[in-house]
Amino acid sequence: MTVLVFIDPAHPGGRVADPDAPQLSVLDPGVTRGDGVFESALYTGGKVRKLEMHLSRMAVSAQVTDLIIPSAGAWRAAIATAISQYDAAASPGAAPAESVVKLIATRGAESADGVHDYGSAWVTVSPAPELGRRQRETGIDVLLLDRGYDSTVAERAPWLLMGAKTLSYAVNMAAIRHAKRNGADDVIFTSSDGRVLEGPTSTVLLATRERDEAGREVKRLVTPTLETGILPGTTQGAIFAAAKAEGWELGYGPVEPKHLREAAGVWLVSSVRLLTPVNSLDGEAINTDAKLTAELSAMVDSIN
Ligand code: PLP
């Protein structure tokens, strides 16, 4: 079941539409060029998790792509309409425990100044994929794949839109298909100069455990630095805030593949799949730590 609500100036709370009927122009640049921005948030326990973080990141993605999108207030109103319709449509006692709220805005018609108003903007709510929930429990096998850019490309070539969440995810999906064809579940991209970047739909975290001089255990959580052109993950941000409050040390890469192999644990994190342990890299088992996974999962559960 999917609920669809368009942002439409003629309908202040959003315009409910049929997700199974044609809705978009075949000329919409979101369709013809994958030109637009989006967000995926988790709806669970009656709440859209980290909504404000998603709205802020969407605003940054829009700015980076010279796109004017609806206001945060218009998104909030459309989301409220969508989830009330979604909840009402669920059979009593059988509402999905976890659902995905997607916000999408495509580019509108050409303009002389290069800054474009949005063409279409809509919200969907649908059940979260079962596979992601299963992978949280089983963990995943991951391939390291070269993204083909070096780790300084984001600053040198801003037109590549590194770090913006745009609709151009065909490359990310192709990487996941490549992994699956080769017996793995997912991917961690590396840069051409050997840095660990991110997953096609996730942020990479690794943890180390050491002893300080006094013999106390020091737990450290590390993620690749944003300068490499990766998307700033809202889940990573929220986990880091929770880990800091619990006394963990935090580190922001450079991360290299050897650090993943030496770590106590490696996870892919994202808003809908949440925290997924990595069991192997390129076919070789790496360390997993059920206790750390449980600790980090508890932090993820506390995010709201
Ligand atoms: N990196 C990429 C490329 C992504 O597509 C995503 C999420 O879809 C993430 C990281 C994780 O971001 P978040 O935790 O905000 O969902």
- Is any atom of ligand 1 closer than 6 Å to the C-beta of 233? yes
Q: 50-75: string of b/e by CB count within 10 Å (b at 16+)?
A: bbebbbebbeebbebbebebbeeebb
Whether the CA torsion 164, 170, 174, 180 is positive or negative: it is positive
Which whole-number Å values give the CA distances from 78 to 9, 99, 191, 304, in the listed order? 11, 16, 38, 20
Cα–Cα distance list, 185 to 188, 273, 297 (Å) = 11, 13, 20
Atom of ligand 1 nearest to the CA of 236: 14
Cβ(271) to ligand 1 under 6 A? yes
Nearest CA to ligand 1 atom 10: 202
Q: Is 29 in the pocket of ligand 1 (CB under 6 A)?
A: no
Residue 43 has a pLDDT of: 97
d(CA 204, ligand 1 centre) in Å? 10
Closest ligand 1 atom to Cα of 237: 14
Give the pLDDT score at 205: 98
Token pair of 206, please? 């690794």
Distance from the alpha carbon of residue 67 to the mean position of ligand 1, in angstroms? 20
- Ligand 1: which of 98, 103, 169, 201 to mutate, most ligand atoms within 8 Å of CB? 201
Distance CA 187, CA 268 (A): 9
Per-position pLDDT tens, the chain of length 304 = 999 999 999 999 999 999 999 999 998 999 999 999 999 999 999 999 999 999 999 999 999 999 999 999 999 999 999 999 999 998 777 788 999 999 999 998 766 677 788 999 999 999 999 999 999 999 999 999 999 999 999 999 999 999 999 999 999 999 999 999 999 999 999 999 999 999 999 999 999 999 999 999 999 999 999 999 999 999 999 999 999 999 999 999 899 999 999 999 999 999 999 999 999 999 999 999 999 999 999 999 998 8
Q: What is the pLDDT of residue 95?
A: 80
Q: Is the CB of 198 under 6 A from ligand 1?
A: yes
Ligand 1 contact via 205 beta carbon (within 6 Å)? no
Q: So what's the pLDDT on residue 112? A: 67
Bond into 254 cis (ω within 30): yes
Asked if residue 270 has its Cβ within 6 Å of ligand 1, the reply is yes
Dist. CA 236–CA 255, nearest whole Å: 15
What is the phi/psi pair of residue 29, to 5°? -60, -20
Residue-level pLDDT at 259: 98
